[in-house]
Amino acid sequence: MTNNGFEQDQYIRNRVLLMHVKCGMMLDARRLFDEMPEKNLVSWNTIVAGLVDSGDYVEAVGLFLTMWEEFSEGESRLFATMIRASAGLGLISLGKQLHSCALKMGVGEDIFVSCTLIDMYSKCGSIEDAQFVFDDMPDKTTVGWNSIIAGYALHGYSEEALSMYYEMRDSGGKMDHFTFSIVVRICTRLASLEHAKQAHAGLIRNGFGLDIVANTALVDFYSKWGRVEDARHVFDDMPKKNVISWNALIQGYGNHGRGQEAVEVFEQMISRGMAPNHVTFLAVLSACSRSGLSEHGWEIFQSMSGDHKVKPRPMHFACMIELLGREGLLDEAFALIRGAPFKPTVNMWAALLTACRVHENFELGKLAAEKLYGMEPEKLSNYIVLLNIYNSSGNTKEAAEVVHTLRKKGLTMRPACTWIDINRSSHVFLSGDKSHAQTEEIFQKVESLMAKISRHGYVPQERHLLPDVDEREVRFPFHHSEKLAIAFGLINTPEWTPLQLVQSHRICNDCHNAIKLITVVTGREIVVRDGSRFHHFVGGKCSCGDYW
DNA sequence: ATAGTCACGT
């Protein structure tokens, strides 16, 4: 057999291998690979990349090491693949070793290697190393920019990420559908309508208007901004939708207290043959719970494993506990916890705890709080909820003890802040914040608002004294960060503009009451979003139905 | 090579 003929055979064997990998038939692919009489670099690349794509990182690394012992040979693609595997495993040490290997082999500046390195470093927690690789790139490609921007966003540096995007644009970088998806997601976190609208326009202008991922990000953005109708428009215009797109829309309706529509979209999805996943059920069940559609909720919950082959997870149980809890069916909710086919999780106890707090069942609430506290003793949030329950029930002594342990463990409560985006720039307010340039005007506005809503029955709420809280704040909840942000927003926007706030903390009862009335006296729509839920205030009502 | 839904609190 001539050398040429052998190479041809090898070429064909590699193609067959690739075909199996592309079809996701990894077991067959592996068998073919193992039975190959000869393996060249392409064969190794193909099988290893297949393993990484299917999430089998450990196996991929094992195979790579076998190969490395034999040949000590590698080229850029293979390194890129292995760096991707380290990212998947979250192993920065492995990633660093591969990085230095790649440098030794002279492929350290390869564009594929650089981009996967940026991604790997940021996913493994080192944005500094990612930035370092990015800085060293001789030509900053679209993928390179995308990766570093996504990296900053991943680490919570949303503003920095956004300004890097503008840097990319200004330096003539060519933006693609990945860029716009990332930017829209950043805007979602920043609640920045103007930037998002620009990105939306850019997406269409640059010919990526049909991209399913970018459009799904837009659906999510508009619904999280309180513009569910706009979200619906984007969704309806999408030529193709997948399960994530449907989920985003259902979630959108649910978040704004429009459970009926959420259920309708869910049913539409089923009737169109789209298979729901566990996130779909999370969205539709919490929508039912928030809108008081308990019958629907139960039916859907019951249908999960049978009709839809989706096994209920702890979060689905937590949703159902919330659903029961809203109606004050605390014993039934507790029974659901005890009857769950797995060990009750933090979320489930937390849902029960919220129900107990709202319905003032402190006995069961204390049980739930202490369970939480016992399960994750290092987690700040559990101290906060325990603090809340003691505080609401007037147990100031126990509350003080919680604060004490919290201090002993070195866990600190960060001050609450609210964030509002006006005319493309964002403004942050702390409680009682007097650092803003318009402070005087803002405080005047708060005063006049409070006076106005008092005529509609608003009474400032006395709160139990917390060991850590400034006494002025307790007596005067007028200067909570959300009230300041709203006053600022009212001053600086035209009358018909809805306001969108993002908040670091759970909204307090007093602010919740006040904001409801503010929508009455001003005729504005106000959307407040905290880490996990929405309050869509309109006409004196809130989408949460006063339960949160 | 890089992107989108969830993850119950300050």
pLDDT digits 0-9 by tens, A448-473: 999 999 999 898 876 544 444 444 44
Taking the alpha carbons at both ends of chain A, their separation in whole angstroms is 76
Distance A193 CA to B6 C1' (A): 23
Give which of A222, A241, A242 is closest to A231, Cα–Cα.
A222
Q: Which two tokens stand for residue A61?
A: 């690394």
Which nucleotide across the nucleic acid strands is nearest to A290, CA versus C1'?
B8
Query: Are A293 and A263 spatial neighbours (Cβ–Cβ below 8 Å)?
Result: yes
Please tell me the predicted confidence (pLDDT) of residue A282: 96
Q: Which residues pair with A542 in a beta bridge?
A: A537
Give which of A293, A242, A301 is closest to A269, Cα–Cα.
A242
Dihedral of alpha carbons A138, A141, A145, A151, sign: negative
Distance A141 CA to B8 C1' (A): 40
Give which of A470, A531, A530, A522 is closest to A496, Cα–Cα.
A522
CA dist A27 and A21 (Å) reads: 9
Distance A42 CA to B2 C1' (A): 23
Which nucleotide across the nucleic acid strands is nearest to A212, CA versus C1'?
B4
| Buried/exposed code over A261-285 (b: 16+ C-beta within 10 A; e: otherwise) | bbbebbeebbeeebebebbbbbbbb
CA dist A151 and A164 (Å) reads: 11
Residues of chain A with CATH 1.25.40: 313-413
Distance A306 CA to B1 C1' (A): 40
CATH code for the domain defined by A313-413: 1.25.40
Give which of A517, A512, A545, A515 is closest to A456, Cα–Cα.
A517
Distance A82 CA to B9 C1' (A): 38
CA dist A99 and A85 (Å) reads: 13
Which residue has 């996130």 as its token pair? A279
Which residue has 């006040």 as its token pair? A514
Q: Provide the residue-wise pLDDT of chain A in tens; the chain has 548 residues.
A: 455 666 778 889 999 999 999 888 889 999 999 999 888 888 999 999 999 999 999 999 999 998 888 877 778 889 999 999 999 999 999 999 999 999 999 998 899 999 999 999 999 999 999 999 999 999 999 999 999 999 999 999 999 999 999 999 999 999 999 999 999 999 999 989 999 999 999 999 999 999 999 999 999 999 999 899 999 999 999 999 999 999 999 999 999 989 999 999 999 999 999 999 999 999 999 999 989 899 999 999 999 999 999 999 999 999 999 999 998 999 999 999 999 999 999 889 989 988 888 888 888 888 888 888 788 777 776 677 677 667 666 777 877 787 787 778 777 767 788 999 887 788 999 888 888 899 999 999 999 999 999 999 898 876 544 444 444 444 467 788 899 999 999 999 999 889 999 988 888 888 999 999 999 999 999 999 987 788 999 999 998 888 77
Query: Are A46 and A54 spatial neighbours (Cβ–Cβ below 8 Å)?
Result: no
Please tell me the predicted confidence (pLDDT) of residue A393: 67
Which nucleotide across the nucleic acid strands is nearest to A246, CA versus C1'?
B5
Protein residue at shortest CA distance from C1' of B9: A381
Chain B: positions less than 7 Å from a protein CB are 1-10
In angstroms, the Cα distances linking A509 to A54, A85, A363, A461 are 48, 47, 21, 8
Which nucleotide across the nucleic acid strands is nearest to A251, CA versus C1'?
B5
Distance A284 CA to B5 C1' (A): 12
Which nucleotide across the nucleic acid strands is nearest to A83, CA versus C1'?
B1
Please tell me the predicted confidence (pLDDT) of residue A216: 97
Distance A46 CA to B1 C1' (A): 15
Query: Are A405 and A383 spatial neighbours (Cβ–Cβ below 8 Å)?
Result: yes
Which nucleotide across the nucleic acid strands is nearest to A176, CA versus C1'?
B3
Protein residue at shortest CA distance from C1' of B6: A279
